[in-house]
């Protein structure tokens, strides 16, 4: 295999394996982000998942997690951090992708599908990350693998061979997807059935000053069984408001060294971090040392400032060390898979908890106030509906020329030329009941009821309807719709196939790995 890559470095042009684009190079060798987490380091976790007893390794999980992390960070920027990754379930997604990949590789082999050395070599040769002066260069290739993933060419090529196998299976599934002409025409009708409306929203939260809740009201509510249950349910649903974990505000200094680095490189990095700690112990400002020494590009210019964070936000060894420090204390060097850290804690916010008994009156008042503002808002909307009978809604409640929503509880607006085949109305959001009434309207006119839409009450008037005509569906439009439907159908076929493979396999997931703190 290596001989093929060391051979001619001629250009191969655009090369796709059976029409399936393999993203492995973008993921592995695209722009990197911040540290993604020292997942599983120092723990007893040995595997991420098992498929019919066959293990998916922790190393593969780490790699897949980092790939996903970088993709989301590239899309969302600095807003995306380990805490958000945990909230979004990125660890579960990484395991699911690895399980899916293993199932598809196994299926490819069962079907007798294979990948040749030449296919692997061509795919590698054409990647810009492995080229020098526009041509494949073996040393560039080997260096890129070592620097970005810390693996050998042999291991990477084995992984790529499996990726290409997956691509072939997916391509066969894509080719099996079909779309009929009836489906094309139905899609055209859906995509061109449109309407325009004028509306008035009455927003309950803008009416809070118009309602009062007395202490006696709260007491009576809490004395009732329904009141007690609603208060307890809201307390449980909003537990995060009443319970906060310990959090710390900290700085850090990072000296990078790979977890698999040779002993001399590890020693060199450790000496550098110890020298920084000695300097701080001698009276140097932590932030100034961080600006000079730290190799964390994201925080170096901020003196290593990490802001305020709690459990699950940082890698496990780092979090454990930070949470154990006192204010002003500097840690001993902390080793993670990214290198050595020094940590200084500048503030500690202890955990807090408010019992139900402490906040039940507050919650009861909130519930009663919300109920009463909703009643007032609905009554206001019903009055507007009566007022608009026989008159144009836009005449009674004109929309400002600049389109800006006026302040106050009554907000007029227009939604123009929107699809009635979806539940979405511009400036209103999801409004399925309203859209159904609009779709059923034969022409312009006031709709006969008040609609509850996203915590507001809405009165609406149809201004116009545009119904599609199949006579206008020419061949160009047919082809565009057909291709779009085909792509959607291909994804459905693939998902259904993968779901069936999962149902037939025995899949075990290491729940400890998914949980916060690993």
Which phi and psi (to 5°) does residue 230 adopt?
-65, -40
CA distance 309 to 314: 8
Residue carrying structure tokens 């859906």: 190
- Chain-centroid distance of CA 177 in Å reads 28
Domain boundary among 303, 329, 350: 350
Whether residue 472 is contained in a domain is answered as no
Domain boundary among 317, 350, 383: 350
Say whether both 171 and 94 belong to one domain: yes
Taking residue 427's Cβ as centre, other Cβ atoms within 10 Å add up to 15
- CATH for 107: 1.10.4030
Say whether both 97 and 167 belong to one domain: yes
Query: How many domains does the chain contain in total?
Result: 3
Domain boundary among 322, 350, 378: 350
Whether residue 129 is contained in a domain is answered as yes
Say whether both 43 and 138 belong to one domain: yes
Q: What is residue 494's predicted lDDT score, i.e. its pLDDT? A: 95
Whether residue 140 is contained in a domain is answered as yes
Q: What is residue 400's predicted lDDT score, i.e. its pLDDT? A: 86
CA distance 358 to 226: 19
Say whether both 290 and 331 belong to one domain: yes
3-class secondary structure per residue, 83-104: HHHHHCCHHHHHHHHHHHHHHH
Environment class of 479 (CB within 10 Å of its CB; exposed 0-12, middle 13-18, buried 19+): exposed
Q: What is residue 15's predicted lDDT score, i.e. its pLDDT? A: 27
Environment class of 373 (CB within 10 Å of its CB; exposed 0-12, middle 13-18, buried 19+): buried
Say whether both 212 and 110 belong to one domain: no
Say whether both 10 and 131 belong to one domain: yes
Say whether both 340 and 298 belong to one domain: yes
Q: What is residue 35's predicted lDDT score, i.e. its pLDDT? A: 41
The tens-digit pLDDT sequence of the chain (518 residues) is: 434 433 433 222 222 333 333 444 444 444 333 344 444 444 445 789 999 999 998 888 988 888 898 888 888 887 888 878 888 889 999 999 999 999 999 999 999 999 999 999 999 999 999 999 999 999 999 998 888 767 889 989 999 999 999 999 999 999 999 999 999 999 999 999 999 999 999 999 999 888 999 999 999 999 999 999 999 999 998 888 888 889 999 999 999 998 878 899 999 999 999 999 999 999 999 999 999 999 999 899 999 999 999 888 888 899 999 999 999 999 999 999 889 999 999 999 999 899 999 999 999 999 999 999 999 999 999 999 999 998 999 999 999 877 666 778 999 999 999 999 999 999 999 999 999 999 999 889 999 999 999 999 999 999 999 999 999 999 999 999 999 999 999 999 999 999 999 999 999 998 888 774 43
Say whether both 172 and 221 belong to one domain: no
Three-state DSSP state, 339? strand
Whether residue 480 is contained in a domain is answered as no
Say whether both 310 and 393 belong to one domain: no
Whether residue 509 is contained in a domain is answered as yes
Residues 413-422 as b/e (b if ≥16 CB within 10 A, e otherwise) read bbbeebbbbe
CA distance 426 to 418: 7
Whether residue 454 is contained in a domain is answered as yes
Q: What is residue 45's predicted lDDT score, i.e. its pLDDT? A: 57
- Chain-centroid distance of CA 213 in Å reads 40
Instruction: Dig out the tokens for 195 from the structure.
Output: 């309407």
Say whether both 279 and 426 belong to one domain: no
**What residue spans of 444-510 are helical by DSSP H?**
475-504
| 328: containing domain | 246-350
Q: Which residues contact 228 (CB under 8 A, 6 or more apart)?
A: 222
- Chain-centroid distance of CA 109 in Å reads 33
Whole-model pTM?
A: 0.56
Q: What is residue 26's predicted lDDT score, i.e. its pLDDT? A: 41
Which phi and psi (to 5°) does residue 341 adopt?
-120, 150
Say whether both 267 and 390 belong to one domain: no
Q: What is residue 403's predicted lDDT score, i.e. its pLDDT? A: 63
> In the beta sheet, which residues pair with residue 244?
352
Say whether both 87 and 132 belong to one domain: yes
Mode of pairing for the β-strands spanning 47-51 and 507-509? antiparallel
Whether residue 181 is contained in a domain is answered as no
Q: What is residue 405's predicted lDDT score, i.e. its pLDDT? A: 67
Taking residue 516's Cβ as centre, other Cβ atoms within 10 Å add up to 15
Q: Which of 96, 93, 108, 85 is nearest to 20 (CA)?
A: 108
CA distance 164 to 19: 11
CA distance 246 to 352: 8
> What H or E segment, with its residue span, contains residue 411?
strand 410-419
Whether residue 490 is contained in a domain is answered as no
| Under 8 Å between Cβ of 323 and 306 | no
- CATH for 338: 3.10.50.40
């Amino acid at each position: 295999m290596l001989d093929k890559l060391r051979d001619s470095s001629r250009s191969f042009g655009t090369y796709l394996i059976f029409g399936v684009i393999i993203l492995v190079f973008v993921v592995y060798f695209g722009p990197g982000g911040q540290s993604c987490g020292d997942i599983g380091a120092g723990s007893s976790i040995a595997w991420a998942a098992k498929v019919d007893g066959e293990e998916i390794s922790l190393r593969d999980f780490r790699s897949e997690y980092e790939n996903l992390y970088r993709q989301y960070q590239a899309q969302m920027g600095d807003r995306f951090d380990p805490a958000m990754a945990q909230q979004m379930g990125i660890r579960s997604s990484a395991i699911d992708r690895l399980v899916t990949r293993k199932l598809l590789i196994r299926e490819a082999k069962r079907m007798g599908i294979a990948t040749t050395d030449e296919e692997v070599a061509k795919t590698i040769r054409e990647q810009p990350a492995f080229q020098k002066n526009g041509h494949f260069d073996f040393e560039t290739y080997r260096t890129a693998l070592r620097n970005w993933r810390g693996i050998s060419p042999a291991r990477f090529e084995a992984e790529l061979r499996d990726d290409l196998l997956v691509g072939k299976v997916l391509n066969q599934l894509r080719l099996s997807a079909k779309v009929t002409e009836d489906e094309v025409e139905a899609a055209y009708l859906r995509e061109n059935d449109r309407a325009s409306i004028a509306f008035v929203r009455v927003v309950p939260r803008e009416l809070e000053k118009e309602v009062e809740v007395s202490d006696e009201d709260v007491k009576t509510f809490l004395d009732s069984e329904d009141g007690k249950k609603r208060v307890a349910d809201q307390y449980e649903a909003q537990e995060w408001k009443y319970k906060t974990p310990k959090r710390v505000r900290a700085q850090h200094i990072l000296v990078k060294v790979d977890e698999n680095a040779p002993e001399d490189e590890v020693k060199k990095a450790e000496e550098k971090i110890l020298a920084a700690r000695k300097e701080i112990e001698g009276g140097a400002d932590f932030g100034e040392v961080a600006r000079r020494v730290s190799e964390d590009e994201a925080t170096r210019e901020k003196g290593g400032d990490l802001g305020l964070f709690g459990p699950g936000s940082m890698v496990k060894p780092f979090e454990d060390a930070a949470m154990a420090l006192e204010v002003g204390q500097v840690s001993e060097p902390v080793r993670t898979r990214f290198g050595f850290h020094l940590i200084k804690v500048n503030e500690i916010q202890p955990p807090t908890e408010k019992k139900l008994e402490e906040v039940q009156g507050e919650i009861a008042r909130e519930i009663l106030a919300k109920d009463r503002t909703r009643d007032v808002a609905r009554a206001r909307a019903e009055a507007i509906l009566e007022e608009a009978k026989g008159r144009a809604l836009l005449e009674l409640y004109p929309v400002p020329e600049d389109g800006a929503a006026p302040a106050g509880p009554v907000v007029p607006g227009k939604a123009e030329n929107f699809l009635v085949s979806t539940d979405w109305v511009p400036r209103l959001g999801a409004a399925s009941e309203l859209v159904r009434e609009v779709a059923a309207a034969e022409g312009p006119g006031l709709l006969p009821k008040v609609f509850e839409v996203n915590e507001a009450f809405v009165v609406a008037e149809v201004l116009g309807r545009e119904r599609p005509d199949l006579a206008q569906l020419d061949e160009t439009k047919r082809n565009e719709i057909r291709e779009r439907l085909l792509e959607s159908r291909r994804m459905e076929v693939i998902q259904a196939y993968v779901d069936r493979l999962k149902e037939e396999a025995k899949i075990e997931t290491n729940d400890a790995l998914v949980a916060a703190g690993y």
